[in-house]
Structure formats: structure tokens, C-alpha cells
A = this chain, B = another copy of it.
């Protein structure tokens, strides 16, 4: 057989497929925040057994998209303001560390790959393609983490993508008509990273995430005290 043939097909296990599907459904709003994820129901619908579903749910819980009430089962996460803040603080921790690692390495030219994502953000914003915009936003941050050269750091970031996708959508919804503030903010971040000044880069990271989390959590009456919190995931009519 030819040396450079067939692109290594990976037999996606049932659990991966299940996790992917559930993730999708949750982000689509088919499973609204707070709704229960009953193992047997899901298994029946997917025509699998509960085993793979169980493991898939464990994955979603690890990602923060679902929660578990021990003995009661899993349900779609409902995030409180505080939790959203916490998530963004962790992002700030990871991404500012990534910035530090790149800057410390001394090759600021590497940040050039971030421009690609920036351009994509501008392009999709102009087109009004919000789904693509979310992807561009995510890819900018993902790229930064990848640039860190720390595989584990990148994986830690990647594990949050599902949650982040939902949160960015929410942020966009809050923003309303124009996405410009987001673009400006990211342009500024990249510029600060390029300065090569550690302190400025760190500050820029934290500032961006502080702003973002504020934007998302602002203007919702519900709070953690009520136990209800607010939906960290898009609210759509429960389909199916």
C-alpha cells in the first residue's frame, strides 16, 4: 500500500458519539438548562444501552455542561453569576499563563497566528454570521493556548469549549446589534500581547475576561441565593 494513503480513520466510540450528540443538543437548547438527563431515556432514543450514556454524561459533567445530584441523576447545568465569574477567572489564569509562556520564549512573531482569527472575527461580524463569529472568537483563544506549547494547558482550555460556546452566545445576545466592542477588545488584547511586556499582557488578559464576565452576568435579577441562578446556556423551546 502507498506510504501516504488513507487518513487514519478513528473508530469513534459510542460514548464519544453520544457525548457529542448530547453536547450539541444542549447547546441547541433542545435540553434546556436545568432539564434532567435521564440515562434510560437517552439510551432508548439512541438505541444503545445505558453504559455508554453513563460515560458520556460523566464527560459532560467534567466539561461543566451537566451536573449530578448523587443518586438522583444528571441535569443540564444552570450557572449562577458567581460561577460564570469563576469560569472567566480560570480562563484568565490559563490564558495569561499561555501569554507569559510565549512572551518568555521571546518570539513575539508567533502571535501572528492570532491575526488570522482576528480577521475572521471582523469578517464574520460584518456578515452577521454569529455562529461563525463564535467560532472565530474561540479559535483565537484556543490558538493562544496552543501557542503556549503546553499541551496540558491546551487540553484544559479545550475541555471548556462547550461551556464557552454557550457563554459567548449569551454574551453576543446581551450585546445586541453590534459586535464591535468584542472585536475592539480582542484587537486590544492581541496588541498588548505583542508589546512583549509581561505585566501589560497579564493585565490585558484579566481585563478582557473581567469585562466579558461582567457583560454576561449583568442585568439578570436571579442570583445564586435563590438557588435558581441564570441559564448559562441558550434558552430555546424544548424540542422533540
Contacts and interface: CB of A to CB of B under 8 A. Distances in A.
Interface residues of A, number: 31
Nearest to A95: B93
Interface stretch (A1-9, A18-26, A146-154, A167-175): A146-154
Nearest to A71: B11
Interface string A56-72: 00100010000000110
A58 B60 CA distance: 13
Number of copies: 2
A93 B97 contact: yes
Looking at chain A's contact residues, is the secondary structure mostly helix, strand, loop, or mixed? helix
A184 interface: no
B97 A92 contact: yes
Given A89-B101, A90-B153, A156-B156, 14 more contacts: A13-B70, A51-B51, A54-B55, A58-B58, A86-B150, A86-B151, A86-B153, A89-B153, A90-B97, A90-B156, A92-B97, A93-B97, A97-B97, A100-B206
